[in-house]
């Protein structure tokens, strides 16, 4: 495709057990989630995002039972999902980060605000603090021996509005050891050529960091 070669392999990060269950008429039991995870493993999915361990008692039980051996995955890796530390909070005493560590997975995915608008209007904090929330959270989780993915929420909207801030967020994650930068089109409104252009620029910018 142009001057770029196709990748040797494409890894699939599946969010059925969290994002896929967030619509009217769906309520997965713990047994449902265990069985769906097994089917995703059978399909060959690389990463199975199991949800946020503190979201509700069912998700907490799901991770507990998975860690206890009730989920036998042949090739997939179970991933716990959660937010970064709180605004102006302490990274070393944050209950959400502690919950990710306690989930017992080898890999976690944390969501960070990549659109400056959401940092100032939703989180009501500064852009410097938004960057620090991501960097310190990644550093803490890496220090706990975990593989860490950053879900850059609203990446494409943020990159279009303020690319400097969005790249600072990704840099904070990469500099603190993030194993993968996930560029999320949260609103679902980006067109293919916009996704291609922004993604290619990020790949060129970060070199060897998996995107």
pLDDT digits (tens, 9 = 90+) for 119-173: 999 999 999 999 999 999 999 999 999 999 999 999 999 999 999 999 999 999 9
CA 177, CA 209: separation in Å to the nearest integer?
Answer: 10
CA distances from 104 to 41, 61, 76, 100, 146 (A): 18, 12, 15, 8, 10
The answer to whether 139 and 101 are in contact (CB under 8 A) is no
Q: For the segment 12-68, what is each residue's pLDDT rounded down to a tens digit?
A: 999 999 988 777 788 889 999 999 999 999 999 999 999 999 888 899 999 999 999
Q: Is the pLDDT of residue 73 over 80?
A: yes
pLDDT of residue 4: 67
The answer to whether 146 and 108 are in contact (CB under 8 A) is yes
Q: Which residue has the tokens 């989630």?
A: 33
Token pair belonging to 177: 């050891």
């Amino acid at each position: 495709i142009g001057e770029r070669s196709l990748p040797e392999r494409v890894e699939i990060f599946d969010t059925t057990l969290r994002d896929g269950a967030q619509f009217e008429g769906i309520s997965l039991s713990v047994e449902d989630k265990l069985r769906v995870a097994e089917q995703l493993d059978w399909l060959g999915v690389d990463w199975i995002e199991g949800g946020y361990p503190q979201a509700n008692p069912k998700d907490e039980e799901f991770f507990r039972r998975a860690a206890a051996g009730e989920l036998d995955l042949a090739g997939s890796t179970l991933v716990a999902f959660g937010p970064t530390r709180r605004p102006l909070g302490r990274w070393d005493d944050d209950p959400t980060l502690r919950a990710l560590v306690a989930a017992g997975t080898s890999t976690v995915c944390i969501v960070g605000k990549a659109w400056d608008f959401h940092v100032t209007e939703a989180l009501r904090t500064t852009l410097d603090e938004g960057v620090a929330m991501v960097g310190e959270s990644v550093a803490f989780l890496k220090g706990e021996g975990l593989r860490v993915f950053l879900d850059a929420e609203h990446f494409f909207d943020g990159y279009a509005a303020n690319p400097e801030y969005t790249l600072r967020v990704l840099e904070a994650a990469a500099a603190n050891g993030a194993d993968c930068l996930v560029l999320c089109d949260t609103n679902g409104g980006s067109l293919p050529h916009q996704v291609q252009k922004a993604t290619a620029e990020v790949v060129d910018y970060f070199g060897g960091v998996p995107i």
